Amino acid sequence: MADLTATGTRTTPDECAATGAPTTADDRTRAYWNTRHRQRDDLASGGHIGLDRPGNEIFYALRLGALLTLIGDLSSTQSPLFVLDAGCGKGHFSRALARCGHRVDAFDTSPAAVAHARAQGGGPRYAESSLTDWRSPWLYDVVLCVDVLFHVMDDAQWAAGLRNLASLVRVTGRLIVADQDGNERTPLGDYIVHRPTAAYRRELAPLGLRHTLFKPYGFRENPLGFHVFTRTR
């Protein structure tokens, strides 16, 4: 995937500096996603841009089904699950989890995505934030991060965001993150870098989170899935 400005043209780092456009890899990634959320529909903006709408509907349905087997589809009205959707995009999963009875907080760095999500309503509380900046007065039963962390290109920023998400999980709660279940660090184009499962374990184990499951999406040849980490202390 090329480095994209709002006009969709390829931009070099020198040109970015001259025009005031973002110059770091992660700044360019944020700009790309905000533009994508503005320009594409509610599914393609956070789904797979190579799929038509029916294909993306299947892709979302399979991921949601996988999530519900991990989280549960109902919670007690007297004692609901508190869920954080980190990097929520336009709120597709946030709204679905709220419909299932969960109390959902959700955030994204894209103003366009958050504005769209708020306009849809449906129960979640939305805010603009990054993975490293989000703070909460309470801990969560489930912290969810779907197809976000492998778009953080800088390893230090990735680790900082992952650790911040881990800090928001209550004891016996779960952190669910999406990536491949691989052994190598694998960059793909300008906006994707898959980290090995061992890298996630290395960051999270000292924080008291144990890797308990990997559940593949099961969508065609897509190798991604959900890593589940459970807080044990």
How does residue 145 score in pLDDT terms, banded at 50, 70 and 90?
very high
Find, among 46, 45, 82, 41, the residue nearest to 64 by Cα: 46
CB 60 within 8 A of CB 43: yes
Dump pLDDT digits (tens) for 160-184.
999 999 999 999 999 999 999 999 9
Calculate the average pLDDT of the chain: 88
State the average pLDDT over residues 10-34: 58
Structure tokens at 107: 């955030």
According to DSSP, the residues that pair with 84 across neighbouring strands are: 105, 143
What's the DSSP call for residue 85? E
> Which pTM value belongs to this model?
0.87
| pLDDT at 2 > cutoff 80 | no
What pLDDT shows up at residue 24? 75
Dump pLDDT digits (tens) for 72-127.
877 777 778 999 999 999 999 999 999 999 999 999 999 999 999 999 999 999 99
| pLDDT at 144 > cutoff 50 | yes
Dump pLDDT digits (tens) for 181-216.
999 999 998 889 999 999 999 999 999 999 999 999
How does residue 10 score in pLDDT terms, banded at 50, 70 and 90?
very low
Region of 189 (left: φ > 0; alpha: ψ -120 to 50; beta: rest) is left
Find, among 138, 224, 144, 150, the residue nearest to 186 by Cα: 150
